[in-house]
Structure 1
Amino acid sequence: MRPRSPFVTTSTQPFHLSIPESQLVDLRRRLELTRWPDPETVGDWSQGVPLVQAKALVEHWLTKYDWRRCEAMLNGLGQFTTEIDGVAIHFLHVRSKHENAMPMIMTHGWPGSVIEFHKVIGPLTDPTAHGGKAEDAFHLVIPSLPGYGFSGKPPKAGWGVQKIASVWAELMSRLGYGRYVAQGGDWGSLVTTNLGALRPEGLAAIHVNLPVVLPADLGNKFSTEEAAMLGALQHYDRWDSGYSKQQSTRPQTVGYGLADSPSGQAMWIYEKFWKWMDCNGDPLSVLAADEILDNVMLYWLSNSAASSARLYWESYHDGFIAVQLALPVGCSIFAKEIYRAPRSWAERCMSNLIYWNEVPKGGHFAAFEQPGLFVDELRNCFRLVR
């Protein structure tokens, strides 16, 4: 048993997840009635999820997957909600048994969720039980982004990454943490970066595994590493950005199909695990089908296809340009990330870059794919500011 948080206040309530059975019955009915498209005309994933793999994942969902297992896991970790600026924020709050543990807020992205972090919670909060030292312990706050999972859905525009960063600062203050660090990847990297730029009282350092370092003024001369990042971004724009163009321009439209079809919602996410993980073209070689479906279920059960996509509409077009950071920053560059940020650009926007490491394996979903390496990165980075 992990200790419950002593920081529960009148504005923070325990959250117990209990999905009505009627929703699971409806899910099974929709899966059974899936109308499948024609198969792809190529022998790989280059046109999207191949029909054979799509049918296999849905068959597993129908016949072998157990949501109640995932529900029990989340309830066992300790879930809470608190309302900030009119939106309910859902978060995991797992406190270490070690007295001098460092508080850390960790932020997921799209198409991820708090599920991404479930394999690193134990090692980070209880290092002595996982081959580490007591002095490496963390208290963890892991919120669901607004519009994602079991957080509330902002009823009006204005909830971009800068707004979310200010909400995270309020959350950590509300929980009573006077000194803490922050970590994030994907959208979580942008939220964490903006939290670092805001630098609220108590924030000691940040760590990101998708550094936002693209200069506003590129110039015309590039190192090998800088040119490689630009090449990766060009490849992404040509072959991998269809989802982001849709979500950043018409999130409501894409929501109709994904909210109505669980198979459609699953494949919208599954394809990104194939493309962005270090998996040699086979997502199931790194993650179990149940793990992928746990993550999909947080979108399906909360009907958050449109509300999660709106973060792209809010922040995608101007959110990825580097901002100046003066507080201590650590970066981990995983081998198969969407792009591998060059240190030269990081140093231009991070004046106090305390940690930089290029990790030999792992991709965009680092904590999910390579939990051991991910934990090592956070321990090594934040030892420098304890």
Structure 2
Amino acid sequence: MWLEILLASVLGFVIYWFVSRDKEETLPLEDGWWGPGARPTGGEDESIRPFKVETTDEEINDLHQRIEKVRLTSPLEDSRFHYGFNSTYLKKILSYWRNEFNWKKQVEVLNRYPHFKTKIEGLDIHFIHVKPPQLPSGRTPKPLLMVHGWPGSFFEFYNIIPFLTDPKNHGLSDEHIFEVICPSIPGYGYSEASSKKGLNSVVTARIFYKLMLRLGFQEFYVQGGDWGSLICTNMAQLVPSHVKGLHVNMALILRNFYPLTLFLGRHFRGLFGYTERDMELLYPLKEKMFYNIMRESGYMHIQSTKPDTVGCALNDSPVGLAAYILEKFSTWTNSEFRDLEDGGLEKKFSLDDLLTSIMIYWTTGTITSSQRFYKENMGRGFMVEKHYRMKVHVPTGFAAFPCELLHAPEKWVKFKYPKLISYSYMARGGHFAAFEEPELLARDICKFVGLLERQ
């Protein structure tokens, strides 16, 4: 009898495991209030208001005075970018920033696309909304929400937008034409920061979902990297019936069996489904995984524990802010750039674009609130929230850029995203994909949408 009970229990467990392992769970769609004080008794103003980026001579003069008073420490001989941002090269950037960079001209660049703000859950949410300049007769554009990460902003998408909204005039097929919505994460740039603890990626996903509904979209595509990939993933977990397709160029999928296979994968590649390209991007394991994580994750520990402390320094010093952020645009674009005296920054980006990204943080005073996003998402422990353990049952496309901080093989991605229909090894590029390789990313988004719509 006991044997029968034991066998029945084991059989029951096995059946339960097979039935429930791909259960299509959704996150609860809750509500919140993140503005100062208590939620007002009246309804929230849901109007959408035009917004323009502006500047003043006083703002620019203050910046120049702070740059002129900079105190730098000389770098060690032959240190290049191995100790962080090389101060000898920083002097060149500061000279350009002070004497040649034209912030008023860059404000005009920022205002090239239409900006808006709207109140959602007590916060003024900023976004740009770019519609196609022309549409073939009888066609309607596909709504696409694109979400940035840290230390980025909505500006990362400026160069990819023409490929998506006006593809025919930019060398792409016009089979897929999008209208693009790029919001700023609360506490980043022109989106208001939360006054309360707890505004994490799931809350942000819910706010951006409400934004899309307010704009009149019941179904839409979403795309993101860095925090944007997590926010878009959370949106697919919250409202899968509204997310037509999810495209990401980064995936947080460490909570499964596959990372453990790294130690055996080099000798049993076929057993674990690794391709030759995976082997190139994963090994040698000590260098490409362990050392790389150690080198590049110090900022994460600070921002996940005491963001306000380092924020005081960065919010007070434009030079410190530039060094802190631009270092990421060096080694996150290509880890080998740390061997160069200039960090390879101008190999992929212009100084105008880089300094515009810095100015969005500096002029809005949002570096501290942007860093708090790490505390809200990781302060309770790494990957402890329920959504990390949940799978995503929305059609998904993944772009694997070779210089991303951590490579995710297709087998890993498919574990988290069972409806993965497009996985691409990209020819080149790193962490800031839309900023660095806009055409490559645009082509992969179109490839994914094409595969999805032909299903």
TM bucket normalised to smaller: over 0.9
**2:46/2:118 contact within 8 Å kept:** no
Check if 1:338 corresponds to 2:338: no
Q: Which residue of 2 aligns with 1:24?
A: 60
SS in 1 for 2:52: coil
SS in 1 for 2:223: strand
**1:265/1:296 contact within 8 Å kept:** yes
Question: Which runs of structure 2 are paired with 1:246-325 in the superposition (5 Å)?
Answer: 246-278=302-334, 281=337, 282-316=344-378, 317-319=381-383, 321=388, 323-325=390-392
Cα separation, 1, equivalents of 2:361 and 2:50 = 21
Q: Check 1:219–1:308 CA distance in 2 against 1; reply closer, same or farther (3 A cut).
A: closer
**1:336/1:363 contact within 8 Å kept:** yes
**Range that drifts further, 186-195 or 226-235:** 226-235
Q: Which residue of 1 aligns with 2:213?
A: 173
Cα separation, 2, equivalents of 1:76 and 1:33 = 33
Q: Check 1:69–1:237 CA distance in 2 against 1; reply closer, same or farther (3 A cut).
A: same
Check if 1:111 corresponds to 2:173: no
**2:224/2:232 contact within 8 Å kept:** yes
Q: Which residue of 2 aligns with 1:4?
A: none
**Range that drifts further, 192-201 or 267-276:** 192-201
Q: Check 1:200–1:84 CA distance in 2 against 1; reply closer, same or farther (3 A cut).
A: farther
Look up the equivalent residue of 2:397 and give its one-letter code: G
- 1:70 Cα deviation (Å)? 1.8
Q: Which residue of 1 aligns with 2:437?
A: 370
Cα separation, 1, equivalents of 2:335 and 2:141 = 34
Cα separation, 2, equivalents of 1:337 and 1:291 = 20
Question: Which runs of structure 2 are paired with 1:193-212 in the superposition (5 Å)?
Answer: 193-212=233-252
Look up the equivalent residue of 2:70 and give its one-letter code: T
Cα separation, 2, equivalents of 1:236 and 1:90 = 34
Cα separation, 1, equivalents of 2:197 and 2:256 = 25
Q: 1:351 aligns with which of 418, 424, 428?
A: 418
Q: 1:58 aligns with which of 84, 94, 106?
A: 94
Look up the equivalent residue of 1:92 and give its one-letter code: I
Cα-Cα RMSD: 2.0
**1:199/1:327 contact within 8 Å kept:** no
Q: Which residue of 2 aligns with 1:82?
A: 118
Cα separation, 2, equivalents of 1:220 and 1:377 = 29
Which digits, 9 at most, give the CA deviation of each residue in 1:325-372, with x for residues without a partner? 111010000010001101111111211101100102000011111111
| Identity level (%) | 33
**1:326/1:351 contact within 8 Å kept:** yes
- 1:296 Cα deviation (Å)? 0.7
SS in 1 for 2:443: helix
- 1:40 Cα deviation (Å)? 3.0
**2:401/2:430 contact within 8 Å kept:** yes
Q: Choose 1 or 2 for highest CA Rg.
A: 2
Cα separation, 1, equivalents of 2:412 and 2:324 = 32
Q: 1:182 aligns with which of 222, 226, 229?
A: 222
**2:46/2:120 contact within 8 Å kept:** no
Question: Which runs of structure 2 are paired with 1:32-181 in the superposition (5 Å)?
Answer: 32-96=68-132, 97-98=134-135, 99-181=139-221
Look up the equivalent residue of 1:370 and give its one-letter code: E
- 1:271 Cα deviation (Å)? 0.6
- 1:73 Cα deviation (Å)? 1.7
Q: Which residue of 1 aligns with 2:271?
A: none
Cα separation, 2, equivalents of 1:13 and 1:220 = 50
- 1:235 Cα deviation (Å)? 2.4
Cα separation, 1, equivalents of 2:366 and 2:402 = 30
Structure 2 unaligned residues grouped into runs of 5+: 1-44, 267-273, 338-343
**1:40/1:51 contact within 8 Å kept:** no
Cα separation, 2, equivalents of 1:211 and 1:346 = 7
Cα separation, 1, equivalents of 2:383 and 2:357 = 25
Q: Which residue of 1 aligns with 2:15?
A: none
**2:240/2:393 contact within 8 Å kept:** no
Cα separation, 2, equivalents of 1:197 and 1:318 = 19
SS in 1 for 2:187: coil
Look up the equivalent residue of 2:124 and give its one-letter code: A
Q: Check 1:327–1:311 CA distance in 2 against 1; reply closer, same or farther (3 A cut).
A: same
Q: What TM-score, normalized by structure 2, do the two folds share?
A: 0.79
Q: Check 1:296–1:220 CA distance in 2 against 1; reply closer, same or farther (3 A cut).
A: closer
Q: Check 1:385–1:220 CA distance in 2 against 1; reply closer, same or farther (3 A cut).
A: closer
State the number of aligned residues.
378
Structure 1 unaligned residues grouped into runs of 5+: 1-8
Look up the equivalent residue of 1:291 and give its one-letter code: D
**1:193/1:212 contact within 8 Å kept:** no
